[in-house]
Amino acid sequence: MNLVVEISIVVVAIATVVMLLAAFRTLKLAGAAIEDVQKTLGDLRVEMLQISHDAREVVRNTNAVTMDAQKKMKELDSLFSSVKEIGQATRAVTQSVKEAATGAVSKVQQSGKNREKSEGGKIAAIADGIASTIRIWNRLKQN
């Protein structure tokens, strides 16, 4: 019976050593896995910082482009308002020229009838020309 107890003790000792070796091996593998996870997390942290930096740079560039676009749109607004004013002035000049031409045609027609009064007709034509010029000038100043 002693022999059975001694064999049992040896079997238990061998089983304990095998279990300790298996546990040691498992813990060694777990430690390697934890180190790998730590390295991966460190790499992810570095990459996240880089991505965050890149995202901030993109936002800065987008803001700069937006501000530039707004500045150019304001410049275009002033340009379009200038073009509008030029158009209004052109219309006023055209209207004044039409009126002057109408007045000149009527004066020519009257001068044909009043050839007898050549000196008076010349003075009246000059006076009408001056009046038309003053009207054109006043319209340009208004617009």
Please state the domain extents for the chain: 2-142
Computed over every residue of the chain, the mean pLDDT equals 83
CA nearest to 97, candidates 140, 35, 52: 140
Report whether 115 contacts 121 (CB < 8 A). yes
Pick 53 or 88 by higher pLDDT.
Answer: 53
Question: pTM surpassing 0.75?
Answer: no
Report whether 93 contacts 136 (CB < 8 A). yes
89-132, pLDDT tens digit by residue? 788 777 877 777 777 667 666 665 555 455 556 777 777 778 88
Say how many CA atoms lie within 13 Å of 97 toward its Cβ: 6
